[in-house]
Amino acid sequence: MTKYAYRALSTDDLQHEVEAVMTPGMDLEGGRSMEWFFEEWVRGTGIPHYRVEFTAQHTEKGYLIRGKLFQTGVPRSFVASVPLYAGGAGRGALLGTVVAAGPETSFHFMAPNQPRKIVVDPQMTVLCSSE
């Protein structure tokens, strides 16, 4: 980013530079744009609150975890990649990541053990609050 040496870098300039090097995992909306991120986390002021409801069904391959991730405190258009961990007797294991879009997002994962609870982002990688 030496082209910005000795001058102010605007938010739009930064967004353009991030889009030039973005990975597929950053492309939550599928348009090779980071507009969603800059609107929510740079220009926006909301902090999402998450709550999880789930069921676990035993199968021959382990446990099928089905549930819903509820998102409040932000506009309906808010999109975030939220990691969910299985909570139980030992250390939590990553079940997977849910792309939360809107007030309610369904998910399903397979797990080797039945979780007693699902924990939203215990590593605190997303600015949020949760139950």
Each of the 131 residues of the chain gets a pLDDT tens digit; together they read 678 888 888 999 999 999 999 999 888 888 889 998 898 889 988 999 999 999 999 999 999 999 999 999 999 999 999 999 998 655 679 999 999 999 999 999 999 999 999 999 999 999 999 98
Give the torsion through C-alpha atoms of 98, 99, 102, 103, to 10 deg: 20
What pLDDT, on the 0 to 100 scale, is given for residue 97?
96
User: Does residue 75 fall inside a structural domain?
Assistant: yes
Total count of domains within the chain: 2
> Do 55 and 111 sit in the same domain of this protein?
yes
Report pLDDT digits (tens) over 91-101: 679 999 999 99
User: Does residue 131 fall inside a structural domain?
Assistant: no
> Do 31 and 60 sit in the same domain of this protein?
no
- Residue 83 belongs to domain spanning: 49-123
Report pLDDT digits (tens) over 66-76: 999 999 999 99
Cα–Cα distance for residue pair 107/120, rounded to 1 Å? 13
